[in-house]
Amino acid sequence: QVQLVESGGGLVQPGGSLRLSCAASGSISSFAVMAWYRQAPGKQRELVAAITRGGRTNYVNSVKGRFTISRNNAENTVYLQMDSLKPEDTAVYYCNADQGIGPGPGERSSWGQGTQVTVSS
């Protein structure tokens, strides 16, 4: 229902910061939940951060206090500010737009193509 394009990934040293952007082709307010997922080499895809239409946020414990998800409805863009990055944060990060009906992304969820984040010294 919407096309999502992630950007902002790259190579950063441990302790550094990156700001990921997810630009949507349509109104992100049409979705109950906007979220960032990541998939590291050899690991399952996991939810990193989510933000509801009402502004409530949720984070996986490993990033709590370091990552901040936000959205700009006027710009149809979702952001993930990543601070104090660790090598364990290395992964492909995906943006997701979901109706929020059930747990996890639903059948009608929209996904971006992903952006690579590499944290290495």
Strand partners, 95: 36
Express each pLDDT in 46-104 by its tens digit.
Answer: 999 999 999 999 999 999 999 999 999 999 999 999 999 999 999 999 999 999 888 88
* pLDDT at 107 > cutoff 90: no
Give the type of residue at 83: D
